[in-house]
Amino acid sequence: MSTPIFRFENVYLEKENKTILENINLEIYPNEFFVILGENGSGKSSLLKLFNRLEINTKGKIFFKDRPIEEIPIHELRERVIMILQGATLFEGKVKNVLETYIEKLKLKYTPKQILDIMGLDYSNLEKKTENLSGGEGQLIAISLAIAKDPEVLLLDEITSALSITMGALVRKKMKELQKQGKTIICITHNMENAVEVGERGVFLKDGQIVKMGKIKELIECFGKDESQCTKR
């Protein structure tokens, strides 16, 4: 098996004397579609944020390609490991002008039309104001900008939950295409059908701990069960 792209060793996250994540041990491999599952309040978002240091672990070690994550300059890490949040928003203004601003700021080798091409959006959107885009259209443009930066790893935090069925399917298809192109994708989802469709392996969190790690279909069986019925493997 290849060297893990991420490795967590006995990782803890504590805030205000409260343990958010406890004794997290996991390995994620290059070109893997890894899913983080768990009920509300289980620590999924906190775990996802550790991958690009939006959260800083208080104990344990995190390695990115066998390099301690704290040794990697934060700007470099976040160029290589990009998070796309649910409901990501754009600057206000005409879409074409806003995209030109992002392209210059992010030093992307794209035109505004090429950004829209990434997710198959119509060029008529260039003449709209960002505040007049539907939530789904704005989300797809934000996803396109993240993809255009060509990261090694994409972190997805429930990005399809507010999208229509059609747009959600489009995003999942694109993410699978990116995986085939060599990207590593780590995502959170509450939608079990989506998890089975895109994911291969993952973890199930409960109260900040990994209760089970394995194939997605096995993890889904953990929902609504106590730890004795869903043992770690």
pLDDT of residue 227: 59
Tell which phi-psi region holds residue 38, choosing left (phi > 0), alpha (psi between -120 and 50) or beta. Answer: left
DSSP 111-141: -HHHHHHHTT--GGGGGSBGGGS-HHHHHHH
pLDDT of residue 228: 59
Residues 179 and 31: beta-carbon distance below 8 Å: yes
pLDDT of residue 233: 46
The segments of the chain whose pLDDT lies below 70 read 1, 87-88, 191-193, 223-233
Q: Which domains does the chain have, with CATH numbers?
A: 6-88+153-229 (3.40.50.300)
pLDDT of residue 160: 77
Percent of the chain whose predicted confidence (pLDDT) is above 70: 92
Which pLDDT tens digit goes with each residue over 51-73?
999 999 999 999 999 999 999 99
